[in-house]
Amino acid sequence: MNSPLFNLIPFSLAEHPDLQISVQAQVNQQRLLLRYQIQGPDVSSVLFPTQPPGLDSPKRKDLLWQHTCFEAFLALPDASTYWELNLAPSGDWNFYRFSDYRQGQIQEGKIQAVHVSRPEPKTTDSYLIEAELDLAHLPNMTHDAAQNLLLGLTVIVEMRDTSKSYWALAHCGEKPDFHLRESFKVIEWSR
């Protein structure tokens, strides 16, 4: 993926595991491509929920953010509506629409699938998850609009001891709050 690389920062420098988290993001036509990577000696201490044996393939699920979860918040400039993508290490996913800051949350029915892949790690100190999302079905998401997307890239990391750390492009609140529009970044996509 030839795209910008964003390094996420933990909310609290004092209470974060020895990790580095980066995200590559790319809009190609009206498709959003994301690649999250966690690296560092503490990767083996991260709790990565997996799909239990015998269950169906990954599916749309709620409350994924209660454990390790890879997220992206999408918004169009000058619009109060925004979307939240949740990706679990199990491959489960969800995509919500909000009418305004933390208001009117519903599952976005225009998105019926998110392609999630989890390549096998080459080392024990790295974890990778990738996702592809077709934006063309979203209201007002024209080709030009997709090229001017605001993104909030975030990760919740749950350790095996159940402690959590919150990672984002920026933290603009007094507590971890990924929904704050001030934390979203305007991404300059190459056309």
Q: What is the DSSP letter of 62?
A: S
Instruction: Kindly report, residue by residue over 74-124, the tens digit of the pLDDT.
Output: 999 889 999 999 999 999 999 999 999 999 999 999 999 898 888 776 677
Segments of the chain with pLDDT less than 70 = 1-2, 51-56, 121-122, 188-191
For the purposes of burial, counting CB atoms within 10 Å of the CB of 58, is it exposed (0-12), middle (13-18) or buried (19 or more)? middle
pLDDT at residue 146, as a whole number: 80
The strand pair at 69-75 and 82-87 is best described as antiparallel
CB atoms within 10 A of CB 152: 22
Delineate the domains of the chain, giving CATH numbers in brackets: 5-65+87-186 (2.60.40)
**Is the model's pTM score more than 0.85?**
yes
Q: Which two tokens stand for residue 90?
A: 């199990």
Residues 94 and 73: beta-carbon distance below 8 Å: no
